[in-house]
Structure 1
Amino acid sequence: MTKIVDVRCRLFEAPGGPYQVMYANPLRAWDGAPAAEGSFGFHEWMTVEVELATGEIGVGNAALSPRLAIQVVSRQLAPLVLGQSSADREALWQRMYRTIVPFGRRGVGIAALSAVDIALWDVEGKRLGVPVYDLLGGLKAARTQVYASQLYPTEDLEALAAEAKRYVDAGFGAMKQRFLYGPKDGRSGLSRNVELVRAVRETIGFDIDLAADAYMGWDREYALRMVRLLEPYDLRWLEEPLLPDDIAGYQAVRAASPIPIAAGEHESTLPAFYQLITSGAVDIVQPDVNRVGGLTAARKVSALAEAAGIPLMPHAGQVHNYHLVASQPACPMAEYFPVNPEPLVGNEMPHLLFEGEPKAVDGYIELSRAPGLGISIAPRSPVREVELGDRSEDLG
């Protein structure tokens, strides 16, 4: 047995000023708060490195409350993993999960576990000399389709249309945009949301798939009104119209909606997705590998979705999500955040933090045969490492 000899965390950030984009979100839905987007950004990122006695190092990461996640990894999870074998990923997952259940089966606890789990898959692939997708069952095809995910709302509809055209010209066969307006914006907000979708749809035509994301920024009544207004634009799906715990609301919206309903990026673990799927709340599930419980949990959710005949399209880009999509029958395509010189919300930050993150060509990515996930930590400007000794992460 090759033992794990070290588990260490690092913190990275992309310094910057005020957020450059706006979008619908839960705070806007509650009180119409302006500039609420800062509460949902990812300009800090935690990495976890798991090292074996033979020298291989696996890399995982988490972006939800990374400073808190570092504490969970260092104090709760690392002692459970040290001295164990990376081949025993299921047993290690169970130990970690059962340790954090009282305080962290959702949110920062499961995000920390996910980061460690991803690193365990990466290091095991490196130990065996095979890509992670081989450990998951092998590639379904040489290339994996991805959809361009950006198109933040703006009053400049010509600029929004021009951005959409760039993605078409780059070869993307699918893309996703964001809404801005919600219940506090009244009837005019309904119309302005429709204008955002119309601007993109009229630009790209109906041969390109278009999805739209409300990011938990609506309530049931508002969502029911919006789906009727959006029907002519043939959306591939409407994403996260409601708060994640409103299962009854999702059931009602899905039952009335001519547009498929997608959700799941803020859910964690297999039982939560079992409820989401078996309750008939969604048409598409969207777990995020570094929130759901890592690859160990994500492949189980994928099998559940496959059995139910429901597509699984993970939230966010990143190579760990790509290995899942490339290998699992339930996954038709993956999300892809176009490369930006500076992170807008933070979802694009992995391109600036890791060497080896796949780049889309003609709307597809190709995964390499490199062992593990095929990435290494290699921050590029404006991303920089935060010295934990200089800025205390000790919450105790």
Structure 2
Amino acid sequence: MKITRIEPILLKGDQKYTSSTSGAEATDNGDWQLLVRVETDEGFEGWSDAETLAPAAVAIIAGQGMGTLGFRTLSDILVGENPLDVERLWDKLYVGSAYYGRRGIAMQCISAIDLCLWSIRAQVAGMSIAQLLGGRRHDRVMAYASTLFRSTPEGMAEAARGYIDKGFKAVKFGWGVFGEDKGRDRELVAAAREALGPDRHLLVDPGWYPAGWSKPGPSRSRREALELCEWLADFQVGWIEDFIHPERTREYAEIRPLSPTPVAAGEQLSTIWEFERFIGDGCVDVIQPDLTRCGGLTVARRVAEMAVSANIDLVPHSWLTHLLTGYSLQLIASLPRAPFLEFNVSQSKLTGGVAISPFKLDTNGMVAVPDGVGTGVEVDRDFVAAHRIETGSVL
């Protein structure tokens, strides 16, 4: 079997990333979305989404490369290869793009391609990805509603009650206006905790620059980061996520043992080498690889082994389309412990329309792990065709 094509598919929408004053739902990226499809000569194909600067990623995957090793496009590197040689191909992609990649957009594209290859491998084997990873240990996983902070306590309370009505037992609020006003930050968290009650999980992602995503500024000082951990514990927050500059590994390692609130992070990391340092230095209680950023399942499965060895939990960051939810769910199902699945309730029309049958909660706030072949997610090809932009127009 051979890879015949790696196709970047650029989708265009008309919504912007935004939060709300009221309880109305926030919106993730609704302007651009990249999908990647890997095709083979035997009819198997894999699909993935990619969280990256989509128009630029098109050139990295299928634009004009150079003849020198390290400057080649990802399609040039893989076409003609056996898609089942997933780990070897990961190394080939890494070396073939090393002079312009190693991290950033190139690694995000490699991650998406790697996911496609794992999907193809599972299809050829006639099993789910969880089975391919060693076996499914969990049939259901608790989902937490992942959304943005609202800008008023009233909006926070309204939003929290809405997630309760939808069946969620856990909610994570992140970014939005958080960090612009310390007094208001505390009021927003207090409102969410009161509305959720003591028996539901509240998770907080403050963002790692404290002025909020709309007004990026300098990262928090070490003292400010520790103070944040301390007062969040007053509201029984289940974890504080990704709140320190991602390059400040030592700061994570120093604050984590002092924090009364469990520390979660890892969505900004990529390659096994960054995760080795981060976990080895004792930076987190919960490691959060994003499968479309970290290097795909080839990297994430090794991160899972490190998490088991360090006796910490792994909960993938998964705030994109249901393609990423599907891959994340398959990885989670293979783990010894499966505390949560991140469930993006803030999908735009663009990200929400990619899958034909989105995942749904059961009455206990759980999501069932598909037991069919591959990821259990089917792409809505009609939706994709209606929203795609010819990539030649952005190269």
- TM-score range relative to shorter protein: 0.7 to 0.9
1:275 aligns with 2:273: no
Distance 1:383 1:281 in 2: 44
- Alpha-carbon distance between aligned partners in 2 of 1:272 and 1:22, rounded to the nearest angstrom: 35
For residues 271 and 383 of structure 1, the distance between their equivalents in structure 2, rounded to whole angstroms, comes to 40
- What CA deviation, in whole Å up to 9, does each residue of 1:335-361 have, x standing for no partner? 001265x35xxxxx5431122442233
Contact 1:147 1:173 in 2 (8 A): yes
- The residue aligned with 1:55 is 43
Q: How many residues align?
A: 364
Match of 1:68 among 28, 36, 56: 56
Q: Does 1:372 align with 2:374?
A: yes
CA distance in 1, matches of 2:289, 2:313: 11
Q: Call closer, same or farther: CA 1:332–1:19 in 2, change over 3 Å.
A: closer
Question: Which residue of 2 is the match for residue 240 of structure 1?
Answer: 242
Is the counterpart of residue 333 in structure 1 residue 347 in structure 2?
A: no
Give the direction of change, closer, same or farther, for the CA distance of 1:214–1:84 in structure 2 (3 Å limit). same
Question: 2:13 matched to which residue of 1?
Answer: 14
Show the counterpart of 1:212: 204
Please give the root-mean-square deviation of Cα atoms over the aligned residues, in Å. Answer: 2.4
Question: Which 5+ residue runs of structure 1 have no aligned equivalent?
Answer: 24-36, 344-348
Whole-angstrom CA distance in 2 between matches of 1:221 and 1:41? 32
C-alpha contact (below 8 Å) 2:17/2:30 kept by paired residues:
no
Does residue 141 of structure 1 match 2:138? Answer: yes
Rounded to whole Å, the distance in 2 between the matches of 1:19 and 1:383 is 21
The residue identity in structure 2 corresponding to 1:191 is G
Output the CA distance in 1 between the equivalents of 2:337 and 2:138.
14
**1 CA distance for matches of 2:248 and 2:80?**
42
Q: Is the 8 A contact 1:358 1:367 kept in 2?
A: no
The answer as to whether partners of 1:50 and 1:116 remain within 8 angstroms in 2 is yes
TM-superposed CA distance for 1:19, in Å, is 4.1
2:84–2:120 Cα contact (<8 Å) kept: no
Query: Quick one: structure 1 residues 311 and 81, their matched pair in 2 at CA, closer, same or farther if it must change by over 3 Å?
Result: same
Q: Tell me if the contact between 1:14 and 1:383 (Cα under 8 Å) persists in the aligned partners.
A: no
Q: TM-score of the superposition, structure 2-length normalised?
A: 0.86
Q: Aligned partners of 2:385, 2:19: CA distance in 1, in Å? A: 18
Aligned counterparts of 2:43 and 2:288: Cα–Cα separation in 1: 35
**1:111 offset after TM fit, Å?**
0.2
- Residue number in structure 2 paired with 1:109: 106
The structural deviation recorded for 1:101 is 2.8
Partner of 2:215: none
Q: Which residue of 2 aligns with 1:320?
A: 327
Matched letter for residue 334 of structure 1: L
Residues 42 and 138 (structure 1 numbering): CA distance in 2 closer, same or farther, change over 3 Å? farther
Q: For 2:182 and 2:394, how far apart are their aligned partners in 1?
A: 45
- Using the TM superposition, give the Cα deviation of residue 226 of structure 1 relative to its aligned residue in structure 2, in angstroms: 1.8
Provide the rounded CA distance (Å) in 2 between the counterparts of 1:208 and 1:351: 26
| CA distance 1:256–1:42, shift in 2 (3 Å) | farther
Name the structure with the higher helix share: 1
| Matched-pair identity in % | 30
The answer as to whether partners of 2:97 and 2:106 remain within 8 angstroms in 1 is yes
TM-score (ref. length: structure 1): 0.85
- Unmatched runs of 5 consecutive residues or more in structure 2: 66-72, 211-219, 320-324
Query: Residue 8 of structure 2 aligns to a residue in which SS?
Result: strand
CA contact (8 A) 2:11 2:388 kept: yes
Q: For residues 357 and 298 of structure 1, do their structure 2 counterparts lie closer, same or farther at Cα, with a shift above 3 Å needed?
A: farther
Q: Do structure 1's residue 3 and structure 2's residue 5 form an aligned pair? A: no
Shift of 1:120: 0.6
Distance 1:297 1:272, change over 3 A: same
> Any idea what the Cα deviations from partners look like across 1:109-149, whole Å, max 9, x if unmatched?
10010011011111222222222221112221221221111
User: 1:30 aligns to what?
Assistant: none
How far the C-alpha of 1:212 sits from its partner, in A, is 0.3
Give the Cα separation in 1 of the matches to 2:58 and 2:337. 32
CA distance in 2, matches of 1:197, 1:225: 15
Q: Deviations over 1:215-248 (max 9, x none)?
A: 2124123212222222211111001111100112
Structure 1 residues 364-373 or 261-270, which shifts more? 364-373
How far residue 382 of structure 1 moved from its aligned partner, in angstroms, is: 12
